[in-house]
Amino acid sequence: AGAARQLDQWARAAGRTDTAARARALTTELLGHPLLAGTGTLTGTAFRRRSCCLYYRVPGGGVCGDCCFTRPPRSSPRAPSG
């Protein structure tokens, strides 16, 4: 989804509206495939996943470009073990 978004932006900036439209159409088709259907919401070129890649847990990671979160979730304190 991120690659398609970048291709769409590049194509529109270069006046290649045919290429931009094709990138959007291919993205819609790919995300409609049974293995990917329901994994997120595509609105124009914006895609929001329904699952989390957990990138926010990497130190300094934040959220990815198609994250299901609008900002990194807060870490909850872990219960003491033992």
Q: What confidence score (pLDDT) does residue 2 get?
A: 85
Does residue 70 lie in a domain region? no
Q: What confidence score (pLDDT) does residue 57 get?
A: 85
Q: What confidence score (pLDDT) does residue 76 get?
A: 54
Q: What is the mean pLDDT of each run of 10 residues along the chain (82 residues)?
A: 90 95 93 90 85 83 82 64 50
42 beta partners: 47
Do 82 and 75 form a contact (C-beta atoms < 8 A)?
Answer: no
The domain total for the chain is 1
Q: What confidence score (pLDDT) does residue 64 get?
A: 81
User: What is d(CA 45, CA 3) in angstroms, rounded to the nearest whole number?
Assistant: 10
Does residue 67 lie in a domain region? no
pTM: 0.64
Does residue 9 lie in a domain region? yes
Does residue 82 lie in a domain region? no
Q: What confidence score (pLDDT) does residue 51 get?
A: 84
